Chains A and B, each alone.
Chain A
Amino acid sequence: MKFKINYSFVYLLYIVFPLVLISSCKDDAVDEEKVIVIKNSSTAADEAQMAFIEVEEGYTIQFEGGTYDFTNTLSMDGKTNIVIKGAGREVTYLDFSGQTAGGEGVLVTNSSNIRFENLSIIDATGDALKARDCDRISFVGVGTIWSGTPDAGNGAYGLYPVLCTEVYIDNCYAYGASDAGIYVGQSDKVIVKNSLAEGNVAGIEIENTTNADVFDNEATDNTGGILVFDLPGLTQYGSHVRVFNNNVYDNNRANFAPSGNIVGNVPAGTGCMILSTNTVEIFNNSLSENDFAGILVASYLIINDTPNDPNFQPLPYSIFIHDNSHTMTGTISAANQPSLVADIINLLVSNNLDQPNILLDGLILLPTAVCVQEDAGTSFVNMNALNDMSFQSIITDISVHDCTQTPLSAVEFDPF
């Protein structure tokens, strides 16, 4: 049965049919028989927007295979129990290359129990898929892509949940973001797993977020692989983040973030980076051929010495780095690096030091703020900026960091 939907109709026609073949992975919330199909036609963008506005609780909005062209943000607000799905991450493309309005490709706000799955968003003018103020939101098999060679003209964030709770990101793909491919900000209870981030400035970034587990991901060919940041002046600060069992390799791409953005300070060649946050555990990761540093621990003060936020704690603490494997055989050039990073590279060279597996800027109150339990032979440099902001008293002795922190507990919630 086929309907030709006239998009000028005020009311959307729901096409409802029983799904026989799709096995249910969630039976508690979504009635699998309630499906709105968005057929791939010249009026699909309007039909999709209408469906996003009028969809009722418990429905699935299903995109067919193919490329859907949008000129405006596709947005949803105030919904509950909705699945938005395509026919496959490399089968269904929501294409925003012709976008003339809106700051993001897809936007979902003030909603709960939302799942995006099996589709890709390409060439969004701004952020690809933003979810703000959502509770229990999942992204499974979702791609965010800026086609072509990554450059500063690409949107900032790929997957972009912010001010959300119970965020579940599984089997997703992010390419070409001029800030972070997979970004979770100002959120609580987060799982990012089984995903691939490549060709972004930051592959995966957890910012001002509490209780996040980032594991079994691949981050490669980014400027920095996996970032855990806290910035001043936002709605909340982060803590309790675990980064483990990830494969973080060859993140040496020249930083292409539009200048002025904090992420523009990330050195090309960074595996994992911790900035001004606390209670973070980085373990069992494979960190290879990230030519600046496998793990970098730094303070926001190195970028901006006046955060102007009295409640912000810029010096990282309760950082526990252990049982990671490190491989570094390449070299990094000071060319095309942020100036501070170039200074560090040149200083290491002049001190006859190789780029280390673990690099600290040294803006920590006590050595035990960062505990390290890695294989013997793990190379280490502390730029010791706390004593000398011009880095003239570099420390290479890792033994003062020979301490442990209480392992963090797993993030647990029932994802939608």
Chain B
Amino acid sequence: MQCNKKEEEPLNKVNIPEGDGFPMLSEYNFFKGTLHDLIPNEEAGVLPYDLNMPLFSDYAMKQRFIYVPDGNIIPYEEGQTLDLPIGSVLIKHFYYTSTNGTEKYIETRLLIHKAEGWQAETYEWNEEQTDANRNIIGGNRTISAHINGTDQSFNYLIPNVNQCKNCHAFNGKQEPIGPVIENLNKNFSYSSGSANQIATWIAMGILEAPINPSTAHWPSMNESNASTEDKARAYLAVNCSSCHRLEGSAANSGLYLEYANQDSLSLGFWKNPVAAGGGSGGFSYVIKPGYADESILLYRMISDVVNERMPEIGRNLSHDEGIALIREWIDNM
């Protein structure tokens, strides 16, 4: 009888904690087999995904997964963060290539959509790299990693829950940032082969099928046929606008960098700084068209001084490729 078999083998499903996060990452059952292999538990609804334009985080490599509870569907909405159903989880895994060539897992962050709102949890991988422990207060870690062809040692911040929300804020509430249709609209190498992520999600029944689907997508950094302007705006949208928008943590700055913003003052053109302090770098305008190296925006991307650098949290190294992109964009205005 089937019911007998059911009792012997517990249902393979993702576990969501009632209150605080589980002590260990393994308890969620997001992955099958050896946890370190990070093989998504697809049978239970965990799906890997990727973004065209990722957030720069000190050159950390990332793997992303989404879990949408069975029977739920994400409404299709372009131009904004998707409204994921209650019970959904976003999983982001941060790792580096160690100086000895092996992969070093640092942390795995979760955003869990509870009925009362999004809950951020951070898991820090143990020394043995077998599992990750819940970490509330975060902290600084010294990382030695092989980045862009050189060995680098630097200070890496694991954010505390408040620092998670500092970026993941929308009108004071915690919200995801990454899952935007335009940023998800790309091919992904699934175990079954390469396929468009949007089409796959729709086919799987976790994303509503749109009546008039857009083909719009944000470019990737190395997309050869995308304009510098388009890449720069997507870069700023992903790396800055979660705070730099009216609903974000940097609303008081008056600098709003969403992809769709077309207002030149709030985009920073000829805009004097408001509360930049040393972050002004001695310059008077956030963006001085034609003069990237006299623009505060670029200065703060380059600076490694704690109270000058942007983003404020999660960046100790500067992003050479991002700096080159923004420099090219401003210089050619």
Contact = CB atoms under 8 A, between A and B. Distances in A.
B281 A101 contact: no
B39 interface: no
A258 B313 contact: no
Question: Counting chain B CB atoms within 10 Å of each CB, which of A50, A101, A133 scores highest?
Answer: A101
Interface in A217-261: 231-235, 258-261
A77 B251 CA distance: 16
A260 B283 contact: yes
A110 B306 CA distance: 24
A102 B134 CA distance: 21
Interface stretch (A26-34, A152-160, A380-388): A152-160
A162 interface: yes
A262 B296 CA distance: 14
B261 interface: no
B327 interface: no
B93 to A, nearest CB: 21
Contact of B252 (A152, A155, A235): A235
B172 A110 contact: yes
Nearest to A47: B137
A303 B285 CA distance: 12
Nearest to A110: B172
Interface in A97-132: 99-103, 107, 109-110, 125-127, 132
Contacts of B251: 163, 235
Question: Counting chain B CB atoms within 10 Å of each CB, which of A71, A77, A133 scores highest?
Answer: A77
Interface stretch (B107-115, B158-166, B179-187, B226-234): B158-166
A233 B261 CA distance: 14
Contact of A235 (B254, B277, B282): B254
Interface in B212-258: 246, 249, 251-252, 254
A233 B282 contact: no
A309 B255 CA distance: 13
B280 A100 contact: no
A49 B160 contact: yes
B152 interface: no
Contacts of B276: 156, 258, 260-261
B163 A185 contact: no
Nearest to A309: B265
A126 B307 contact: yes
Contact of A234 (B137, B138, B172, B254): B254
B280 A259 contact: yes
A179 interface: yes
A304 interface: yes
B140 A262 contact: no
Contacts of A110: 169, 172
A140 interface: no
Contacts of A125: 306-307
A186 interface: yes
B277 A126 contact: yes
A53 B160 contact: yes
A49 to B, nearest CB: 5
Contacts of B312: 102-103
Given A10-B134, A186-B252, 10 more contacts: A7-B137, A101-B140, A126-B277, A152-B278, A156-B277, A156-B278, A185-B274, A233-B271, A304-B270, A304-B284
